[in-house]
Structure 1
Amino acid sequence: MKIVAIIQARTGSTRLPNKIFKSLAGKPLITHVIDRLRYSKYLNDIIIATTIAKNDDSIEKWANKNGVSVFRGSEDNVLERYCLAARHFDVDIIARITSDDPFKDYRILDKAIEKLIDEKYDFVCNNNPVSFPEGLDVEVLTRAALENSYTNTESDFEREHVTQYIHKNPDKFKIFNIRNLKNLSSYRWTIDTKDDYIFVSEVYNRLYKEGELFLSEDIYDLLDTDSTLLEINKDVKKSDLYR
């Protein structure tokens, strides 16, 4: 059984272009995303799925230089990009990862993978309904569920947002949602804007140490100690799930 994380990544973000290469504690954002995923007990590979657009040549070049698997596909049809990447690398279970979440927690990911395998779910997530900070999202699905979505979706929105066909058709899939012990969905830990980047940079500057991993609890403790950090990106518009 081959279990992989597929990271969707592009350089053409409208609000914060080239954000995956922005520096956090002296390293590109994408490096931190991948380094945090490598703590997983179950991942056999980590794949960057980028687009065929010319400006994303830089992502393929970076991946090749850093020994990271890469696949290139449709710019707008991200669902197709995932499906073709899964076929290309002959994947059985896919963890969907977005490249702008620098605080991913491998323990939540591993719990989702275990749940999917042990209880034979098609899709395990932690964002329907949300209870974790935005940016700690986890979505794990079987290859069959991904292929089903690709074959049957008729919506551009669902093609752009890989798992929305599953979310909107719970009667067609066996789904489980992981809930946090406390609802912390008011926290915003993803990078879409300059203010998000400033917030994340502050956290990394205070918690990151080379060769070590800071965890979600460390971030909670930091925010409890210095709540002014929460002011940095409090006015950024949240994604629909977290409003």
Structure 2
Amino acid sequence: MTEPSVLCITQARMTSRRLPGKVMEHAGGSTVLGWHLGRLQRSRRISRLVVASVQGEESRPICDLAQKMGVPVVLGDEEDVLSRFALAAQRFPADIIVRVTSDCPLIDPDLVDRTVDLFCAGGADYASNGGGGYPRGFDVEVFSASVLREAQEKAVSMHEREHVTPYIYQHPDRYRLMTLGGGRGEQYRLCVDEPDDLALVRLVLAELADQPDFGWEDVVRLMDAHPDWAALNAQVVQKTA
């Protein structure tokens, strides 16, 4: 039996309000986006990786880096992120869609693969590791291309359009939802929204950059060994998605 094709779409823009240009900030010898894409390219389940960015000249650095790494870019509306995902899925058809965000430079390709495996084995319409005990910054969502098309057609609120998947996971009566458990370290925040987040990620990568195959458990062990590090961004409030 042929395995389903998997399109991983990551959203990226230069106009983040809290830390403009954050995906091109340097850490551990690369950029936030460079780490993110490079780690996703290690996935065994992703058939194709695409960046969904924003129309306009400000996206040029993202496009240039993605091109150098062999990753295609789709450009669309800045606020209607759901439409960007739908456009990417239209241009690069696949059976399954993986959603990640480019402010997660430490993202673990094995967690991506395990979430895809759960989705496939469980007959889910939507699977994620959110609520599974993992630190913020390792977030993965998986859903079928047909469910993405339904969300594109039916989601109407700005919240649903901006955050892509609320229409799906807020309708458990319509869609079969599954969660990848088994995580720990959910008290840690390792995505990049503000300068303090970036400072923490730089500390982590200073320790792990020479071990490119590190996983989420390595990061959690490092955070456990440096209890003062978590205080660096403890005051940062996560945007509601």
Q: TM-score range by the shorter chain?
A: over 0.9
Task: Summarize deviations over 1:161-212 as a string: whole Å, max 9, x none.
Answer: 0001012111111111122354x322111100000000000110012116x3
Confirm or deny: 8 A CA contact 1:123 1:141 kept in the other structure: yes
Residue aligned with 2:233, SS: coil
User: Residue 67 of structure 1 aligns to which amino acid in structure 2?
Assistant: G
Distance 1:217 1:132 in 2: 9
Find the counterpart in structure 2 of residue 193 from structure 1.
194
Aligned Cα RMSD in Å? 1.5
Distance 1:30 1:165 in 2: 27
Distance 1:233 1:181 in 2: 21
Find the counterpart in structure 2 of residue 89 from structure 1.
92
Confirm or deny: 8 A CA contact 2:24 2:61 kept in the other structure: no
Distance 2:137 2:165 in 1: 16
> Runs ≥4 in structure 1, deviation > 4 angstroms?
none
Task: Summarize deviations over 1:1-36 as a string: whole Å, max 9, x none.
Answer: 321210100000111111111111121111111111
Find the counterpart in structure 1 of residue 175 from structure 2.
173
Corresponding position: 1:75 with 2:66? no
Find the counterpart in structure 2 of residue 64 from structure 1.
67
Residue aligned with 1:170, SS: coil
Find the counterpart in structure 1 of residue 110 from structure 2.
107
Find the counterpart in structure 1 of residue 51 from structure 2.
48
Confirm or deny: 8 A CA contact 1:32 1:102 kept in the other structure: yes
Residue 193 and residue 3 in structure 1: after superposition, are their counterparts in 2 closer, same or farther (change >3 A)? same
Confirm or deny: 8 A CA contact 2:43 2:112 kept in the other structure: yes
Find the counterpart in structure 1 of residue 136 from structure 2.
134
Distance 1:133 1:220 in 2: 8
Find the counterpart in structure 2 of residue 229 from structure 1.
229
Gaps of 5+ in 1: none
User: Residue 227 of structure 1 aligns to which amino acid in structure 2?
Assistant: P
Confirm or deny: 8 A CA contact 1:53 1:75 kept in the other structure: no
Between the aligned residues of both structures, percent identity stands at 31
Gaps of 5+ in 2: none
Question: How many Å apart are 1:57 and its aligned residue?
Answer: 2.5
User: Residue 79 of structure 1 aligns to which amino acid in structure 2?
Assistant: L
TM-score by length of 2: 0.93
